């Protein structure tokens, strides 16, 4: 997996047209998503994340960025779900997107914890 990321990030895309660059970054995003699933934190994976982050930040619309910031601040379940769906649809993968995804997983778990502890009161 790390070798695949290394091969992708070492690709010279300077001569790529817009469509080729879009395809390149979609391939990079898929590889990073796979690395995230296995919690790979190698220097190569971190370099790939930074490369993708810079590209995504350039093209992320301000409304989605604001929603991500608000969702991470408030941990509102519905907002987290909404903004993650938007990011998935548009292919946005940033630190803030990953944070919101982690928060959503934690918030999903909270209701079952509350009912579990209520049962033992």
Give the per-residue pLDDT at 91: 79
pLDDT, tens digit (0-9, with 9 covering 90-100), for 66-99: 999 999 999 999 999 999 999 999 878 788 998 9
Query: Where are the alpha helices (H) located in the chain, listed in sequence order?
Result: 2-9, 18-37, 43-59, 62-74, 77-90, 95-119
Is the per-residue pLDDT at 119 higher than 60? no
Give the per-residue pLDDT at 112: 57
pLDDT, tens digit (0-9, with 9 covering 90-100), for 3-53: 999 999 999 999 999 999 999 999 998 999 899 899 999 999 999 999 988
Give the per-residue pLDDT at 110: 73
Quote the pTM value: 0.63
Alpha-carbon dihedral angle through residues 92, 94, 96, 97, given to the nearest 10 degrees: 40
Give dist(CA 86, CA 42) in Å, integer.
Answer: 28
Domain ranges in the chain are 18-59, 61-121
Contacts of 66 (CB under 8 A, 6+ apart): none
111 pLDDT tier (thresholds 50, 70, 90):
low
């Amino acid at each position: 997996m790390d070798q695949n990321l290394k091969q992708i990030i070492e690709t010279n895309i300077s001569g790529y047209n817009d469509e080729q660059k879009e395809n390149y970054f979609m391939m990079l995003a898929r590889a990073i998503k796979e690395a995230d699933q296995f919690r790979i934190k190698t220097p190569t994976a971190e370099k790939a994340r930074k490369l993708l982050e810079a590209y995504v930040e350039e093209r992320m619309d301000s409304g989605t960025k604001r929603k991500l910031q608000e969702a991470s601040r408030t941990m509102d379940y519905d907002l987290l779900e909404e903004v993650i769906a938007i990011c998935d649809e548009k292919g946005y993968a940033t630190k803030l997107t990953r944070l919101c995804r982690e928060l959503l997983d934690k918030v999903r778990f909270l209701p079952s914890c509350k009912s579990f502890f209520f049962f033992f009161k």
